[in-house]
Structure 1
């Protein structure tokens, strides 16, 4: 999955073909957030996100809204290595949202 989708966001930004309407462009997001959780909390968070998305994933075509559009959601959960400098020092925490420059 990583190899297949790693360059998708950059390709989308660099695409010269007509893109989505401004309303859809404003809704695009990138998120790089570091959190500190236990393995159980991460499992619960992953389950909650899957549960939140499930109704949209399994929605039958005839139940989709007329102005609905396919949207790709890429989500990676990447546990840091124990003793990582960023985790140990608390540096690099926070959230970076929005379209990459």
Structure 2
């Protein structure tokens, strides 16, 4: 046991490594949900679209290829999933603007 570090030395090394760690998302769903400085409806929508894309392809227990939800359907789903107030739902126009912003950002960067 004399060659093993003390528990406090061991914990110090772990804390030091954690402080200097860089965290990267390992999948598109996590990246979409974690890119913003704070959570937002846009982060939720990015994660939702990433989940749909990740589960598309028509394979076993997957969303069929070519399956698309309308903007109004996505808006209804997001309003329910985010438990938004009935007088402040997300609408189809909001989803359309979101998709346009994502496309524009993809072209620029």
> Which TM-score tier does this pair reach, normalised by the shorter chain?
under 0.3
The structure that has the greater radius of gyration is 2
TM-score by length of 1: 0.25
TM-score by length of 2: 0.24
